[in-house]
Structure 1
């Protein structure tokens, strides 16, 4: 399996190099040169497999000869053994043919655990083989940071620097990052928003001279292909649990950076019958505005009750644009350069194709709270604000009542008690037992100005072999 850049100018790489590289040298994102495809008979044969066995079947074609099959199986068994539910991604029924897939049963109570628990093990395996040390630099709007730290904190060959927007994540999200102790763990609170943090990460990958040539950066954000790869699996898991592949499924996906729903798009391309993919956004609705009106335009970022989706520059959208433009890297590069200067549109026939692939909706804070309250009153089931947006968008966009509609439950409601309280639900969601003392743990983080030179100087000074 070889991987190519969405901007067409970087060299093709194998899995190991893509794992460590993150962003391509031309500024693009890596995607597989070709996708594996499974016929219905093969997918049907996976019924009854454990989650880790299913994950092996779906993911191993992407890994191929980079890691022996037995070693990869062991990694997957270890990854999903730490989840708090035997089903790993259990399905909860809300209504007739309407479901939530709970992706928050991992150590940090968010869907990011599915990929980042695996990513930490992949990095340790490859870096040990290469006798190499790297610096992980990542940006988080709330959940990626804690999942990355939890997944990589035991890695012997990495230092971790996670940037989060100062005072713009929930207290639980912040404490999940800042209370993990370790000499190789560094949390940086940037006086800015998530897009500022993400921009610094991308610019740093483009020019790593601040590290003095002594090490290299590795990515944990969803620009890293390994994260997308791991997220494909739970679409197959949900389908098989509800009668697939002999019936089609619909999915609603709360998304800010487009990675999770892009994984669903890939699952469909790999042969899984999916009739509908719904992009569910909050007021920071650049993806919805593009899908509904063919206009990709950045607005002022707004702070909402769903902070993990407070993103205006959706990095993984570039991977979709690459496909929409016939995998023409130069066309993608030109489009994104123009997008940095102002609004852009794509050719009408390309946009109409995108509209066939995706529906979309934008859900404001009031509708988010209304949905949390309504679902609790109907089912005594508590949604976090991001999943509530997914449920509302699913109901607003649903095409066919006969097709099962599955909303991806992206986070545990205990991470967002303020949003739950604002919805009018009187129940305060308790933290799971392993996090019960979270508010008593010592925090450790550094607040820095929204300035890339200062952030890079901090990283250059504090990584282990600096």
Structure 2
């Protein structure tokens, strides 16, 4: 399997080189040169596989023989052996038309664990096999940071620095990152928004000389391994419900801010998974909803919401979808992304809008509607949603038609967002691992939101 850049100025890479490059050296994002196809017979054969067994089969399609199968199997088993549920990502029935795919049973109670436990082990494997230095640099709107740190903390040959927007993540998210006191971990609390953190990361990775000098590796969803790992649970959910006799095609409702989680679903569909609707759920930072419904990709005014991990105006994975929307034409992608840099917006021509709206349905959930959904579902079904999952469920309620089955992706345990849930008078008991965080000391550095300030911190740390 080879990987190419959405902007076409990087020679094809193997899988390991692709994950080490992270952001392509031409500023684009890496995608498979050809998307592997999964037919109905293969889907049927996969029907009784465990999550780890299914992950092994899907990863093999994208890795080929670069990693021996036995070694890859160990990486997969090590990654998913840490999860609290034997199914890794269990599917829960809520009512006749709605199921919830629980993605929060990993060590940090967030869906990011599914990709980052694997990527952390993968980086450790590559470091050992190639005797290479792994310096990980990432930004987080809340969950990526804790999951990434948990995936690599204490691992030999790896250092990690995570940027988060100061005061704009939940208290539990902050504690999960900053109570880690390992020598190979640096937390930077940045004065600014997540979009500022993400911009700094992309610009530092685009500085190829700096990137190579300090051996920078990506942990954010700009890294293609993140996306590939996330495709697995779409297949797993489909196979679980198909075995229960559900309809051949089913919808997925995905709370998303950075477009990574829903792009993984789009990629699963391109592989051959029979998906009905891909419902894109946003909050009041609704650039992606406006793109799907109006054809304009343009940041609006930043809004702090009760679903802070989706408080994002510039979606880093959008370019991957744009590549396929443009017929896999890197020249056109480069032109449009250049236009976005200079003019601040992209307008999709009308002849392509039918394709966008065939690929996605979208709905932006208002703050009070998010909280109302949490309260309603707790009262009706005794099921507690975190505010991001509530956005996915609210979008499903709006866009699922009678007789359709929708799987809403539950991206975090509700205990991570108790501040929002208490606004509807709901009290919950923290899991022991989360409750223990409040008595621990924090370790973080406050920094200005400038490239120079971050560079100085990195030079000292790496």
Q: TM-score range by the shorter chain?
A: over 0.9
Deviation of residue 208 (structure 1)?
Answer: 4.7
- Give distance in 2, aligned partners of 1:296 and 1:447: 32
Matched-pair contact (CA < 8 Å) for 2:415–2:430: yes
Q: Residue 46 in 1 paired to residue 46 in 2?
A: yes
Q: Residue 238 in 1 paired to residue 237 in 2?
A: yes
- What's 1:318 paired with? 319
Which TM-score applies when normalising by structure 2? 0.97
Structure 2 residue aligned with 1:372, among 364, 371, 374?
374
- What's 2:301 paired with? 300
Deviation of residue 42 (structure 1)?
Answer: 1.1
Deviation of residue 425 (structure 1)?
Answer: 3.3
Which TM-score applies when normalising by structure 1? 0.96
- Give distance in 1, aligned partners of 2:347 and 2:227: 26
Matched-pair contact (CA < 8 Å) for 2:247–2:405: no
Q: Point out where structure 1 has 5 or more consecutive residues left out of the alignment.
A: none
- What's 1:348 paired with? 350
Matched-pair contact (CA < 8 Å) for 1:208–1:217: no
Deviation of residue 380 (structure 1)?
Answer: 1.1
Matched-pair contact (CA < 8 Å) for 2:154–2:184: no
What stretches of structure 1 move > 3 A for 4+ residues in a row? Answer: 208-211
- What's 1:145 paired with? 145
Deviation of residue 216 (structure 1)?
Answer: 1.2
- Give distance in 2, aligned partners of 1:316 and 1:255: 11
- What's 2:449 paired with? 450
- Give distance in 2, aligned partners of 1:86 and 1:277: 27
Return 214-223 or 242-251, whichever deviates more. Answer: 242-251
How many aligned residue pairs are there? 459
Across the aligned residues of Structure 1 and Structure 2, the Cα RMSD in angstroms comes to 1.2
- Give distance in 1, aligned partners of 2:70 and 2:22: 25
- What's 1:249 paired with? 250
Q: What aligned pairs does 1:256-405 form with structure 2 within 5 A after superposition?
A: 256-340=257-341, 341-399=343-401, 401-405=402-406
- What's 2:167 paired with? 167
- Give distance in 2, aligned partners of 1:269 and 1:210: 36
- Give distance in 2, aligned partners of 1:431 and 1:89: 20
- Give distance in 1, aligned partners of 2:286 and 2:39: 36
- Give distance in 2, aligned partners of 1:47 and 1:59: 17
Q: Secondary structure at the match of 2:296?
A: coil
Matched-pair contact (CA < 8 Å) for 2:374–2:390: yes
Cα offsets for 1:330-360 (capped at 9, x unmatched) = 1111111212223321221212101001000
Q: Secondary structure at the match of 1:65?
A: coil
Cα offsets for 1:216-255 (capped at 9, x unmatched) = 1100000000000000000011011111697111100000
- Give distance in 2, aligned partners of 1:155 and 1:304: 35
- What's 2:461 paired with? 462
Q: Secondary structure at the match of 2:301?
A: coil
- Give distance in 2, aligned partners of 1:5 and 1:216: 20
Q: Secondary structure at the match of 2:162?
A: strand
Return 298-307 or 182-191, whichever deviates more. Answer: 298-307
- Give distance in 2, aligned partners of 1:191 and 1:352: 40
Deviation of residue 36 (structure 1)?
Answer: 1.0
Deviation of residue 210 (structure 1)?
Answer: 4.4
Matched-pair contact (CA < 8 Å) for 1:190–1:197: yes
- What's 1:225 paired with? 224
